[in-house]
Structure 1
Amino acid sequence: MSPNTSTGGSQGGGPGGGLMTPGRVAVAAVVVLTLVFIFENTRSTKIRLLIPEVTVPLWMALLGTGLIGALCGAYFMRRRR
């Protein structure tokens, strides 16, 4: 038997691969952990933005800082190429 022939069974040989690839499992785990984090941090917190003081839910403040960090990281990675 040639090494290029399969002996049966579905290995997800299509262009998209299998339904549960390691990357998709990792993304699903991060999404679940993010949702748990958001629902655990629903209290309001005061944040001072230079002069004004605003009150926002903690998860929104953390999401905003995370997005700013992701945008800065993407900007610097793009400039690197």
Structure 2
Amino acid sequence: MTPKTSRREPGTDGRRSGLAGSLTPRRIAALLLVALALVFIFENTDDTEIRLLVPVVTMPLWVALLGMGVIGALIGALLVARRRR
């Protein structure tokens, strides 16, 4: 009698597929934080004065908050990429 070998169907390697596989707890938390940040940014639409070393710039507060969020995300991405090396 020959031993039975288990044959897997293509694409059934034990991982979840489709939407269930892409929604991990870490990704859900990241999406919630991004949504909260965007709500905070777009609720603050008043003009504000920002000092950039010497010049004073007047701009909507949401532009300044969004700019700082993008800069923070870029720094975080650079740190993660550096850690993986």
TM-score by length of 2: 0.58
RMSD after superposition:
2.7
Gaps of at least 5 residues in structure 2 are: 1-15
Q: Determine which of 51, 57, 72 is the counterpart of 1:69.
A: 72
Per-residue Cα deviation, 1:3-60 (whole angstroms, up to 9, x for no partner): xxxxxxxxxxx73134xx4667556544543343233200011011111110111111
Runs of 4+ in 1 over 3 A off after TM superposition: 21-32
The alignment partner of 1:50 has SS state of: coil
Deviates more, 1:30-39 or 1:43-52: 30-39
Distance 1:57 1:24, change over 3 A: same
Identity %: 59
The alignment partner of 1:62 has SS state of: helix
Distance 1:64 1:78, change over 3 A: same
Partners of 2:39 and 2:55 lie apart in 1 by 30
Partners of 1:53 and 1:73 lie apart in 2 by 28
**Matched residue count:** 69
